[in-house]
Amino acid sequence: MQSIEAISAVGKRMRIFLWGLVALILVCLIGFPSELGLDIEPMRHSPWVYSFYNLVEMVFGPPELPFDDLLLLPPDAPFLHPEPLPISMRISSVAIFFTTSLLMASLVWEIDRLFKAYSLCEVFTLETTSHFRCIGWTLVALFVVNGVANYIIEHIMIPFEMEMNRPFNGPPMGDMFGLIPPPHEWTNMEYISLDFPLLLAGLFMIVIAHVMHLGVQIQADVDATI
């Protein structure tokens, strides 16, 4: 009896923790904690965050630089007179944001349903195995979508923001790996950034769901035999 109550308590606490974490991420996305020195490092390189700020710029316009920073820029700096985002960047940002938002919302929903089942003392059931399976496949889908989104950002969106074909003046700089090529040569060295821990986590959840499903079936056969 005590173990059942403990499982129920853990499920309730994890639901509170989950939605508190979601609230923290949303607050950090707005940028308020940055004033307090708080930040979530992995979010900086997330395609979802990148597309979110592009959507904000599409709706509210580009952010205004502080007056002190403007004094440090040359008079002919291109970002002193911001232009609207190119159509390809607009379409890519909308597609990346809504696709990843849908997957992350589905992930949070399935995790919440799993913790709710635990709070109701439903641990080894077909419902919980279904939640595990959905969580796993959603993580795998996020792995694929993030890889494609990173490729789109590197090859379609960023070239409009950064002039990669400027003439290279002076000899290339050296580093521990040898000579660094001119900036315009980096366009041929791009790669797709893949989040393999996300893939491994998804596959692990799928395997756990399969094992739990078999365990539930075995337990049902044993109960029927007895």
Q: What is the pLDDT of residue 185?
A: 42
Residue 134, in any domain of the structure: yes
Tell me which DSSP letter residue 120 carries.
Answer: T
**How many domains is the chain partitioned into structurally?**
1
Residue 181, in any domain of the structure: no
**Closest C-alpha among 208, 206, 55 to residue 143:** 206
Residue 83, in any domain of the structure: no
Residue 49, in any domain of the structure: no
Residue 77, in any domain of the structure: no
Residue 51, in any domain of the structure: no
Which residues form the domain of 219?
A: 2-42+103-163+187-225
For residue range 49-88, list pLDDT tens digits in order.
888 888 888 887 766 655 444 455 555 554 444 567 788 8
Alpha-carbon gap, residue 169 to 166, rounded angstroms: 9
Residue 58, in any domain of the structure: no
- pLDDT category of residue 11 using cuts at 50, 70 and 90: very high
Residue 16, in any domain of the structure: yes
